[in-house]
Amino acid sequence: MRVVGTRFGEIELDDAKTIVFSRGLIGFPEARRYVLLEPRGAGHVAWLQSLDMPELAFPVVNGGAIAGSYPEPAPEKLAHDAGIAASDVAVLVIVAATKGKGLVANLLAPLVVDLESRSGAQVVLDPTQYAAAVPLTLGGALAQTTDAR
């Protein structure tokens, strides 16, 4: 399959790599088919490129790389609760560059993907435990918010 997007130009993709979010993502319910464009080399940020809306692509990182205990409940439980298979689960977190906070991660609404069935869902976690704009350091870990004076 060939996709012409606004960020990456024309890309030839394997149909078998399509990830289907049957309910879409928050704010984009009509965009249900995506592909994960992973960096070559040592990069940590990948892109979740929409196949339904080629102008739509989200920068994502592996949620486990941000914080070892993220998310709670465990990815397999999140997948089960979202109604998707849980054989080989990945948790992706959308990141954004913001003025004032720098790089932030949306830990409140991660993307749970079963890599075997290629199905996914965006889930909303406990807002008393997670936030939608958590600052990150350049290495991808959560920025320390405590004062070390």
For residue 12, the model assigns a pLDDT of 75
- Does residue 109 belong to any structural domain of this protein? yes
What average pLDDT does the segment 20-28 reach?
96
- Does residue 142 belong to any structural domain of this protein? no
Q: How far apart are CA 31 and CA 87, in angstroms?
A: 24
Helix (H) or strand (E) holding 77: helix 75-82
**Domain that residue 7 falls in:** 2-135
For residue 47, the model assigns a pLDDT of 92
- Does residue 147 belong to any structural domain of this protein? no
pLDDT level of residue 93 (50, 70, 90 thresholds): very high
- Does residue 7 belong to any structural domain of this protein? yes
- Does residue 146 belong to any structural domain of this protein? no
Which among 128, 127, 134, 90 is positioned nearest to 112, based on CA atoms? 90
Q: Which is higher by pLDDT, 138 or 69?
A: 69
Number of domains in the chain: 1
- Does residue 149 belong to any structural domain of this protein? no
Mapping DSSP to helix (H, G, I), strand (E, B) and coil, where does residue 118 land?
coil
Q: What is the CATH number of the domain that holds 89?
A: 2.30.290.10
Which among 95, 96, 98, 125 is positioned nearest to 109, based on CA atoms? 125
- Does residue 85 belong to any structural domain of this protein? yes
Q: Provide the strand spans (E) within 1-149.
A: 2-5, 9-12, 19-21, 33-37, 46-50, 57-62, 89-98, 102-105, 111-114, 119-122, 134-135
